[in-house]
Amino acid sequence: MLGATVPLTGFGYNLAKGSIEAVKQSGLIGAFTGGVKAASGGIAAAVFFGYLASLISKPKMKKQ
């Protein structure tokens, strides 16, 4: 469960910057859509590389 606690570098910055730029272009609705559009590349890359790592690694059962 370590992967869920590791933050993406600059994720908050991307959300804020995308929201600010979208508000300038689209108005108030841009506050909700701009951050998601700006950070979607980082999110997609994290999911993709996590999936690749799961294909390469061999799962092991934890001994309790």
Evaluate whether 31 touches 22 at the Cβ level (below 8 Å): yes
The ranges assigned to domains in the chain are 8-55
Whether the pTM exceeds 0.85: the reply is no
Intervals of the chain under pLDDT 70 = 1-9, 64
Evaluate whether 15 touches 39 at the Cβ level (below 8 Å): yes
Q: How many percent of the chain have pLDDT more than 90?
A: 16
Instruction: State whether residue 8 is helix, strand or coil.
Output: coil
CA-CA-CA-CA torsion sign (15, 17, 22, 24): positive
The Cα–Cα gap between 46 and 56 comes to 15
